[in-house]
Chains A and B, each alone.
Chain A
Amino acid sequence: MADNIEEERFPGHPLLPYILILPSVAVIVVFLVVPFLQSVIGSFFRSTAFGTKTVYVGLDNYTRLLTASDYHNSAIATLLFAGFVMVVGLAVSLAIAHLLNQKIRGLGFYQVAFIWTYAISPAAAGAIWALMFAPSTGIVPFIVAALSGGYLLNWMTNGPLALLVVSIAATWNMLGYNIVFFLAGLQNIPEEFIDSARVDGAGPWRTFWDITFPMLSPTTTFLLFVNMIYAFFQVFGLIDIMTHGGPGDATNILIYKLYRDAFLYLDSGAASAQSIIVFVVISMAAVVQLRFATRRAIYAR
């Protein structure tokens, strides 16, 4: 990738490029690569009962995790949650971006009105949605009760409902970001393509699926990846504010379980193994994403 520069633009400065790159490389090696390798090593060890020393256990941390039902639950909750955020979130965002991508007055106003929610942190989003759904006093339970003739919606005692509520909150949290990128992607599709499809007699629905959607695929792939990272990791604050992983383990997604095993139950072997498993998943997604979106800069977080 770095080899499309034919010659040096400033010959005769052999040391300068190394000096320029040194700070970035130093940070990456010290704070990323070394701790990551330690995670790999740590995943093969386990602390003894009193935490005084660690013993080599081979792949035991992995086999214990992969056969434990609470890990399965956590993985399934994560997949449902991330799937909701990625599919529903991107579909809604693309629909809104598509509506915005026309010659319409007040486009600037709408852009701001949709984008500004990007500045809301997951924790703040969690607090706001906890209020919206607050049992017996929140506005959503009120509306549900009014429409259903008295059904009392309490997500704090209903696992599947809790997972749905945090999924809605997280999806809402990402809308602004997704809309910005979709709109930018849509605006870069040359109008000739759309026009020629129209001339050929394709309706708006056909035009969208045959022309617009395929041409957007770099943006879509990129956003799928960013939303996955969000749903896997950044959503931690939202979960911690809203549910603490509960009720039961209904919203105990992988990052929350990892945090608890590492810092509350001090099970460093299991925590390291969990880190490596998410690393494998994320790397595969990153490779797919890079394949699709080569030559695009990435606004990952």
Chain B
Amino acid sequence: MASRLWKEGASHVVLITLVLIITFPVIYALIVSTLTYQQAYEFPPRLIPGTELWPNVLEAWERINMGRVFFVTGVVSAGTAVVKIVLSLMAAFAYTHFKFRGRALLFPLTMITQMLPLPVRILPTFEMMASFHWINTYSALTFPFFASTTGILLFRQFYMTVPRDLSDAARVDGAGPLRYFIQILIPLSRTNIAALFVIEFIFMWSQYLWPLIVTTTADMRMMQIGIKMLIATDQIAPAWNVIMAGTIVAMLPPLLVLMLFRKSFAEGIAMQSQK
């Protein structure tokens, strides 16, 4: 018993040390974001927080017009996540509840997205956006991301485990397929929906290369490009205090989404790992 306790104590020491090591870069960034420009260049590096957090955040905010950047990035990230989820739910429902000609052909087609990430089609996709006059529009930032192998597989997997009795009962009660889908199946899928929302929101919030190519104006700027611009404005002696303040603010929305749906996210992943 005593050795068990000792062993658990040792585990805690190891784990807390690991948490501190892994979290340290962010803690350090947080400290720097509270310093003045001169303090950020002190040597040895200063590890005591200062009082300048708010002025630094305001400066970063104004430099890249962060209010607008938040709005655009939020719309793109949440919008794309929702569209992806809806399209995946629909396709998964069709694949698991109906037999139709061409299914054997269409299913592999919808699985292909995994093999065709943006870099293998980047130039023609960009040219397509230009020919659609979509440069600097929400359409260019979102449409090329709407396909989701992940989502279709995730929901399909889940729907295959839903007992047939459920759809039979719904049918006996006179419910059509769409009513069954919307009123029974989708509510049952909410853990997976939340997990997918977390993944897709963070994925879109982190987009860098595509927004760099298809947007050129300040009013369509996405958050990661904002971070780039914060750094690029003064190359020689970067204002690390302002850059870090901006970077930390830019990290908050995806972090908030992850924390809000943390339970479902973990459950969704655990559920998938069982198979």
Q: Which residue of B lies closest to A271 (CB)?
A: B123
**Known A20-B91, A188-B270, A300-B149: A28·B124 in contact at CB below 8 Å:** no
Chain A: minimal CB distance from B44 (Å): 5
Cα-based distance from A131 to B148 in the complex (angstroms): 35
B104→A185 contact, CB < 8 A? no
Is A4 interfacial (CB-CB < 8 Å)? yes
Stretch of B49-57, B63-71, B151-159 that contacts chain A: B151-159
A258→B122 contact, CB < 8 A? yes
Hey, which chain B residues are within 8 Å of A259, CB to CB?
122, 209
A35→B112 contact, CB < 8 A? no
Is A75 interfacial (CB-CB < 8 Å)? no
Chain A: minimal CB distance from B11 (Å): 6
Main secondary structure of the interface of A (DSSP, over half): helix
Chain B: minimal CB distance from A16 (Å): 6
Hey, which chain B residues are within 8 Å of A219, CB to CB?
273
Main secondary structure of the interface of B (DSSP, over half): helix
A sample of 10 cross-chain residue pairs with beta-carbon separation below 8 angstroms, ordered by A number, consists of A2-B103, A27-B146, A31-B128, A32-B144, A119-B258, A137-B41, A184-B269, A255-B119, A276-B120, A300-B150
Per-residue CB proximity of B90-120 to A under 8 Å, as 1/0?
1101111111100110110110111111111
Further contacts, 18 of them, CB under 8 A, given A114-B22, A119-B202, A282-B117: A5-B97, A9-B164, A20-B93, A28-B147, A29-B109, A32-B112, A32-B116, A117-B22, A121-B202, A124-B227, A131-B32, A132-B28, A142-B45, A180-B266, A237-B224, A276-B120, A297-B157, A301-B203
Q: Which of A1-55 contact B (CB under 8 A)?
A: 1-5, 7-10, 13-14, 16-18, 20-21, 23-25, 27-29, 31-36, 38-39, 42
Chain B: minimal CB distance from A239 (Å): 10
**Known A36-B120, A137-B41, A137-B45: A25·B199 in contact at CB below 8 Å:** no
B110→A123 contact, CB < 8 A? no
Is B188 interfacial (CB-CB < 8 Å)? no
Cα-based distance from A29 to B113 in the complex (angstroms): 10
Q: Pick the residue among A114, A120, A132, A275 that contacts B19 (CB under 8 A).
A: A114
B254→A36 contact, CB < 8 A? no
Q: Pick the residue among A114, A121, A137, A299 that contacts B43 (CB under 8 A).
A: A137
Cα-based distance from A283 to B117 in the complex (angstroms): 10
Q: Identify the 10 closest CB pairs spanning chains A and B, nearest first.
A: A237-B208, A38-B124, A121-B206, A35-B121, A35-B124, A20-B94, A17-B98, A17-B94, A10-B177, A279-B120
Is A62 interfacial (CB-CB < 8 Å)? no
A112→B262 contact, CB < 8 A? yes
A188→B273 contact, CB < 8 A? yes
Q: Which residue of B lies closest to A117 (CB)?
A: B22
Hey, which chain B residues are within 8 Å of A184, CB to CB?
266, 269-270, 272-273
Chain A: minimal CB distance from B99 (Å): 5
